[in-house]
Amino acid sequence: MNRDPTEFNKTRLAPTPSGYLHLGNVISFFITVSLAKKHGAKILLRIDDLDQKRVKSEYIQDIFDTIDFLEIPYDEGPRNLKEFKQDYSQIHRQALYSAAIEELKENNLVFACDCSRKTLLKRHPKRWCTGTCIQRNLPFKKNHTSLRLVTQKDDSISLNLYSKGQTTYHLPGAMEFFMLQKKDSFASYQLASLMDDLSYGVDLVVRGMDLLPSSIAQVYLSNKLKENSFGNSSFYHHQLFKEEGKKLSKSNGSYSIQQMRNAGMKKEAIYQLAAKQLGIAYPVTTIEEFSSHFLLLF
């Protein structure tokens, strides 16, 4: 159903500590804060740390340092590294993720897959899973085995897109038979993100346009679980921000906020850079000024 976007309960800042935050990350934070302000939503800081091979304590600390430096407000979540590790790490929510997988197993919607990246590439030029392992009936607890969702490509998925209303999609090819649990036994991003948003009561999700397939997959997954409210959430997918023609990202080596700070750049200059990315021509030096000008774009 279409949602009246006049008020939301909660949104979230959801960085992944696999590198130092860059300008694209904080612009997404600024947009999230702006929309929360407009709709009276609380803001949760939810740090996604299940990719344990890439997570480092200094990257987690950088999230707090950047938020403090840019004076980005939030209402709920950890205030420092110690508090995060003790109370808010996704490691503490493993039982929540496991319960969802067990529910899906009971409905015969889970299959085990031991395909390597090389095997997936042999079966699809983009390394997308083709569901071949469904017929193999591998045991769920076999070593070096992931768990995937049985999907139907013809199923319709409705998303409430912010300011656009309800839009119908089919599951993108890259998301067919998507992963629920990785070979390291940790929950996948799609499952953990969904269950966290449900657990914390998030109903406004702000993401880059590159994560639209994830939004579609997560709503699809929510429809396969017991009755829940995730399908009524609103999704705002902002443009991707670029530097010299390339998407701002850790993998592209974008300058981090930490590097900018170490070079002597003031927070006001970073706000101005953020405004420039969105085509805001007015001086912007604080989160309040950013929010005021950003909300005029609607």
pLDDT tens digit sequence for 160-173: 999 899 999 999 99
13 pLDDT more than 80: yes
Domains of the chain: 10-295 (3.40.50.620)
pLDDT tens digit sequence for 15-41: 999 999 999 999 999 999 999 999 999
Average pLDDT over residues 202-230: 97
More confident: 293 or 4: 293
Mean model confidence pLDDT for the chain: 94
Global confidence as pTM: 0.93
Res 1: pLDDT: 43
Res 298: pLDDT: 84
252 pLDDT more than 90: no
SS (HEC) of the chain: CCCCCCCCCEEEECCCCCCCCEHHHHHHHHHHHHHHHHHCCEEEECCCCCCCCCCCHHHHHHHHHHHHHCCCCCCECCCCHHHHHHHHCHHHHHHHHHHHHHHHHHCCCEEEECCCHHHHHHHCCCCCCCCHHHHHCCCCCCCCCEEEECCCCCCEEEEEECCCEEEEEECCHHHCCCEEECCCCCECHHHHHHHHHHHHCCCEEEEEHHHHHHHHHHHHHHHHCCCCCHHHCEEEEECCCEECCEECCCCCCCCEHHHHHHCCCCHHHHHHHHHHHCCCCCCCCCHHHHHHHHHCCC
